[in-house]
Each structure stands twice: as C-alpha cells, then as structure tokens.
Structure 1
Amino acid sequence: MSSGAPPSDLATRKPRPVLPDGWPQPRGYANGMIAQGKVLTTGGLVGWDVNGVFARDFLGQVGQTLANIKAVVEAGGGEVTDIMRLTWYVTDIEAYRGCLSELGPVYRAHLGRHFPAMAVVAVSALVEPEAMVEIEATAVLAG
C-alpha cells in the first residue's frame, strides 16, 4: 500500500489519498483516504438554500448541495480539504451520467481539486420530494 507519506507525518498532514501499488490513478475521486484528527460527519444534505428553496435542475442542486457541505464543514472549523468521503444518493442515475462533463466545473467551484473517496448510489426517492441529490460527507479536522 502506498499512502504518499510516512506514518509519522499523519498528525501534521491534511487527509490524503491512499493508492495501492500498481493501481491506476482514479479520476475525480480517491480509492481511499487517510488522516488523523477529529471526525465531523454531516447528515444527508440536499440542494436547497437557507430558505428551503431548491435549485430547479440537477446541476443546480448538486452545486447547492456541495455549497451546503462546505458551509457545514467550515462551521465545524474545517476546510473542504479535510473532507475524507462523500456519499451521493441520486434519484436519476442517467441524469448524473449524462452531465459528467458539466459536473466537473460545478464540483470544482465548491470543493476545488480535492477529490475524496466517493460513492454514487441510485435511489428511487429521497425524503424531500423535490430533491434530486443528497450527499453525506465525512471530514477529519486537525487536532
């Protein structure tokens, strides 16, 4: 296993990807992440603003959801680079697959080029009827 730094650096380093020797470099996500610190988890966040108003389209909801995740992580004292894992729940997997080229800039507008471990799961519905995407995040904050 190659984690990019010796274990003694764990306490002073940001979360970083883990890539087993010989595996190809993933694009847009990490196979695993390693960090040491305080764990912050979010609930499933959706694409509504502070007034409870949803964005009208899939990409708009993704952007708002990522903005909401960033807000929670920062409110907890962290930064987006502290995010270790994102689990996406989408009601229309074809909408997700169909907008991947447009999704990249939306993602980077909120989380930059930080690509934690991720999973995308298709679901039949979410609790909020207007929601097209719900994302859970796990971050590890320093100290």
Structure 2
Amino acid sequence: MEILQPAQWKRPRGYSHGVVARGTWVFVAGMVGWDNACEEFDSVDFVDQARRALENIVTVLEEAGARPEHLVRLTWYVTDRDEYLSSLERLGQVYREVIGRHYPAMSVVEVKGLVEPGAKVEIEATAVIPDGEGEPGRPAVFRENGHTQERGEDT
C-alpha cells in the first residue's frame, strides 16, 4: 500500500490525500455506535459512538482476515459538523487507540440525519488485503517528492 502525497501540497493530519493498493478488497457497510448485538447505542456521546463505530469496523475487517492497517478509505457521516469539530482532540485519541497511526484517505460529510434513531455518526470503510498477505502485515509506505519510506510515527 502506498500513501500518496503530492509534492506541492501540505501534508494532512489524520488522513491521507490518496492511497494506492493492490489485493483483495473488503467493503464495510456504514457502521454506527451500536453494541455488539447491533440493537442499541451504549452512549449518546459523539466520541463514544465514533469509538464503537470504529470498533465495529475492526470486527468486520477481522471476519475478512483484514486489519486496520489495510484500510484505504473511510467516509464519515456526521449529524452535527460543530460537534465533530469540537471533538477532534478526543476523536483523534480514540482513533489512534482503535485504528492506530494508520491514516487512509478520508472524507467527513455532514448529513441531515441518519437512518438509526439516536445515531450521531456513521462510518463506511474500504480495506485492501495485500496480494500474498498471510504473513504479518506490511507497513504502509509513504511517497513524497519521489522518495518512499515506511509510514511511521513521524509521517
């Protein structure tokens, strides 16, 4: 997997401008902050719901033999842009706890409402399990200005 960073663009924080990946695609439906039975919300708090939605994504990925580092795209649907923006610090911490320091291409879209009553956030995910993956996961690489390096703490 390669993270794309056009040379003339500022490097984003918390997401990537683009990703190139080859392998088996995994499409995860929009996940909300439901409990394990997919019946009710554990919390009305935005960040708590986001944590649970991310955990639910990881659970679905595991069913396919995928891991968070295989994510290539996340699309977040939020019902309140201001609540999302005011929660970014806590949200970033939760994201790193659940997903790690892997930042796929990401979009956030404010919507009028979500289908599930009480849902404040819904997250769709796409992952790609690299061809030949069976051994431990290969780290993402970061490509900028024609140079390639493994994506780590400081990228």
TM bin (shorter chain): 0.7 to 0.9
Higher helix share: 1
**Higher share of residues assigned strand:** 2
**Residue 24 (structure 1) aligns with:** 10
Distance 2:40 2:2 in 1: 35
1:104 aligned onto 2:92: yes
How is 1:1-143 mapped onto 2 (pairs within 5 angstroms)? 15-51=1-37, 52-54=39-41, 55-143=43-131
Q: 2:2 & 2:59 partners in 1: Cα distance?
A: 21
Report the residue type matching 2:100 in the other structure.
G
* Letter of the 1:25 counterpart: R
Give the Å deviation of 1:50. Answer: 1.2
Task: Output the amino acid matched with 1:121.
Answer: V
Q: Distance in 1 between matches of 2:58 and 2:3?
A: 19
**What SS class does the counterpart of residue 106 from structure 1 fall into?**
helix
For residues 33 and 44 of structure 1, the distance between their equivalents in structure 2, rounded to whole angstroms, comes to 20
RMSD of aligned Cα (Å): 0.9
Q: TM-score, normalised by structure 1?
A: 0.87
Instruction: State the TM-score, normalizing by the size of structure 2.
Output: 0.81
SS at match of 1:44: strand
Q: Give 2:126's aligned amino acid.
A: T
Between the two proteins, the alignment pairs up a number of residues equal to 129
4+ runs deviating over 4 angstroms: none
* Cα distance in 1 between the residues matched to 2:2 and 2:57: 19
Q: Runs of 5+ in structure 1 lacking a partner?
A: 1-14
Q: Distance between the aligned counterparts of 1:50 and 1:102, measured in 2? A: 23
Name the % identity. 47
Counterpart of 1:10 in structure 2 is: none
**Unaligned segments of structure 2, at least 5 residues:** 132-155
